[in-house]
Amino acid sequence: MLPEIEVLLRVAMTLTAQKADAEDLVQDTLLRAYRAVDRFDGRHPRAWLLTIMRRAEINRHRRTRPQLLDDPDADLDRLSATGSEQSPESLVVGEAFDEVVDAALAALPPKHRQVVRLVDIGGLSYEETARLLDIPEGTVMSRLHRARKRIRARLAAAGLAPRRGGR
């Protein structure tokens, strides 16, 4: 299980977004795995650990109240008013781009945001993400497609990405 700790921490960061919370989640996952090691068949340790982590995170959310999201539209209005007379390179690495992407990510429904964090940010495959979330691989791809489309639309509305016709 030791080789999987790095993957667990990377996935935990996508689930919690706070390093301390991610470390706590990994520790909780490893503790639960240790307690249940007699029920583990020895096959697919990553999938087994990620399933334990997913269930531990679900249980943690049941105990806490959800946090309210900031209004991402306020940031988009401010960015639209400034215009986009910068070079494409400065837009991609610029602070405005990061703010719009963060706001677009925060505005996604939780199930879409979770898939983006696991696949695009965490680097998990569709298959690993599907196992972790206990959903079909096609659902992962569908949610990811919809999430990326919404993020692109936000970037286009802010003048930070080309508009696509009809998509």
pLDDT digits (tens, 9 = 90+) for 72-104: 555 455 545 555 555 555 544 566 667 788 888
Residue 165 inside a domain? The answer is no
Residue at which a domain ends, from 63, 80, 97: 63
Indicate if 52 and 77 belong to the same structural domain: no
pTM equals 0.48
Sign of the C-alpha dihedral, residues 7, 10, 13, 18? positive
| pLDDT surpasses 90 at 112 | yes
Look at residue 135 in the predicted model and tell me its pLDDT: 93
Indicate if 41 and 112 belong to the same structural domain: no
Look up the CATH number of the domain holding residue 100: 1.10.10.10
Indicate if 55 and 119 belong to the same structural domain: no
* Residue 8 near residue 116, CB atoms below 8 Å: no
